[in-house]
Amino acid sequence: MKAIIIDDEKRARLLLKALLTDYCQDVQVLGDFSDLESGVEAIKRIQPELVFLDIELPESSGLQILDFFKESELNFSIIFVTAYSEYAIQAFKLSAIDYVLKPINTDKLIEAVSHYKNHKSKQVRQLEALKSNLYETKKKIVIPSRDDFQYLDPEDVIYIKAEGSYCQFHLRNGKRILMSRNLKFVEEMIQPFPFLQRVHKSFIVNCNEIAFYSRGSGKLQLKDGTELQATGEKMEALGLK
């Protein structure tokens, strides 16, 4: 399959090209480019099936690639190869966009290429979702649903309860939102919000909402009267003994 690389770091382009040559031999790299403008021109000229794209490019963002194509012209797929910080990983996951983090892990690269081959599709909606998620993930909790995304103010979350492979968010307004991810996934997703902490195998709570903790019973009472089970070790780690 025809591919190109767009990355402002020459060393990164050469390394990725070498890894693709060695481990993804059905990927034919037909060019590598240091900025979005030359990369877009190459896409229109070469017509690659796959574009390996860095997000942080000089004087532009890789996400601006949508500005150069009509929807009918977006007949290629994108795998982002990026050194983006940890918070952004969830944005990539929630947007169903393939990515490989720098420094490149060979197994992850092979996995991303394999996923592309099995799920070839146009990516207009996914790229728009990623753009939104990258901007919002720093300050919001992003909940995916079948057709769209909900953005929650983390301060509005009272607690989160594990429901098997799902999680239920209990909000300040009494609303409940079910998310089709397990509690471990959610725990990683909320790392930018340190007041949300896991206190039990089944619960994450907003520490600002804790009214009382009984070490003897292991019960945690929230300001709204909700009682939850807590683990002593986790509560001690939070300074609540």
pLDDT at 188: 78
Residue 199: burial class (beta carbons within 10 Å; 0-12, 13-18, 19+): buried
Average pLDDT on 48-59 reads: 87
Residue 145: band (very low, low, confident or very high) from pLDDT cuts 50, 70, 90: low
CA distances from 189 to 74, 181, 198 (A): 30, 10, 12
pLDDT at 87: 52
CATH number assigned to the domain covering 141-237: 2.40.50.1020
- Which are the contacts of 14, defined by CB distance < 8 A and separation ≥ 6? 32
| Segment (H or E) for 37 | helix 36-46
pLDDT at 142: 72
% of the chain with per-residue pLDDT over 90: 48
pTM: 0.57
Contacts of 93-97 with C-beta under 8 Å, sequence gap 24+, read 94/129, 94/133, 94/142, 94/144, 94/149, 95/126, 95/127, 95/129, 95/130, 95/133, 96/126, 96/129, 97/123, 97/126, 97/127, 97/129, 97/130
pLDDT above 70 (res 21): yes
- Domain range 2-136, its CATH number among 3.30.70.3340, 3.40.50.2300, 3.40.50.300, 3.40.720.10: 3.40.50.2300
The answer to whether 224 and 210 have CB atoms below 8 angstroms apart is no
Please name every residue paired with 32 in a beta bridge, in sequence order, or none if there are none.
5
Average pLDDT on 7-12 reads: 94
Average pLDDT on 147-162 reads: 85
- Please indicate whether residue 44 or residue 124 has the higher confidence score (pLDDT): 44
- Please indicate whether residue 163 or residue 123 has the higher confidence score (pLDDT): 163
pLDDT at 94: 58
pLDDT at 106: 95
At residue 216, what are phi and psi to the nearest 5 degrees? -65, -50
pLDDT above 70 (res 218): yes
Comparing 88-97, 116-125, 193-202, 221-230, the range with the smallest average pLDDT is 88-97
* Tens-digit pLDDT profile for residues 62-121: 878 878 888 778 788 888 888 765 556 666 765 667 888 888 999 999 999 998 888 776
- Please indicate whether residue 86 or residue 144 has the higher confidence score (pLDDT): 144
pLDDT at 226: 95
Mean pLDDT of the chain: 85
pLDDT above 90 (res 10): yes
pLDDT above 80 (res 241): no
pLDDT at 45: 95
Beta strands in 77-202 (DSSP E): 77-82, 98-101, 141-144, 149-152, 157-163, 166-171, 176-179, 196-200
Sequence spans of domains, the chain: 2-136, 141-237
